[in-house]
Amino acid sequence: MGLSRRRLLQATGVTGVAALGGCLSLGQSGDSNGDYNVADAPIPDNPGKHTYAIAGTGNADTTVQYFSNWKCPYCAQFSTGFLHTVMSDYVEPGKIDLEFRSLAYYNGKPFLGADAPRASEAGLAVWNVDPQSFWKYYEQVFSNQPSEQKQWATTDKLLSFMKKAGVKHRDEIKSQIESKKYESELQKTDQAAQKAGVNSTPMLIIDGQTVAALKTDKVTKLLDSATN
């Protein structure tokens, strides 16, 4: 049986924040690199070879997996803060590739609301239909993320984010969302997260080590160790 959001928080040893759901702030918030725009993140020349969204060349010696959830407010905190530094200092120079994995399910159950899988379907559809727009879409959503307490991830709302981000072929993307085309990929992400010990978001896996993305000092040390 899957963990409820409250039980998931208790299992991770965090109390007093159950109302926020299963995404956790476990460290410093980190400062944003004001000179870098996540919407401009590089992507591989052959994005079609990658099922999940990639920031980077696709050929870096180190690939960091980034487990997130489109509805998680702490993922938005990371996305508008320390992620800018990760992108500018490690992705842009080609030191790492960053693979985005949206945790729509935990142990087979929707994670952070019944609408979370739809948000994850939308993200995968954008990546696979118009990959050049993915990081623009990513930034648009996380910079304007509605309250996690609401089931806001309707198809129409997701499409409105795509329109603002300039995503092309939205009719095709809508069809993919409604058909749940990427359900198996979402289930694989659930399985990968459990295997890696991911039990909250945002989390990074760096050189085999799972770390809360908002523990900025630890993340920096692990990235430096993996790339030097």
pLDDT of residue 199: 87
* 30-80 pLDDT, tens digit each: 455 557 899 999 999 999 999 999 999 999 999 999 999 999 999 999 999
Give dist(CA 124, CA 216) in Å, integer.
Answer: 27
3-state helix, strand, coil in the chain (%, to 5): 45, 15, 40
The CA distance from 53 to 130, in Å, is 11
pLDDT digits (tens, 9 = 90+) for 138-188: 999 999 999 888 899 999 999 999 999 999 999 999 999 999 999 999 999
Q: Per-residue pLDDT tens for 85-136?
A: 999 999 999 999 999 999 999 999 999 999 999 999 999 999 999 999 999 9
Is pLDDT above 90 for 207?
yes
With 0-12 CB in 10 A as exposed, 13-18 as middle and 19+ as buried, what is 173?
buried
Q: What pTM, to 2 d.p., does this model score?
A: 0.87
In the structure, what pLDDT confidence band is assigned to residue 2 with cuts at 50, 70 and 90? very low
Looking at domain 5-227, its CATH architecture is 3-Layer(aba) Sandwich (3.40)
Structure tokens at 34: 């004001």
Consecutive H or E run containing 83: helix 82-86
pLDDT at 200 over 60: yes
What pLDDT score was predicted for residue 24? Answer: 57
Summarize pLDDT for 134-149 with one digit per residue, the tens: 999 999 999 999 988 8
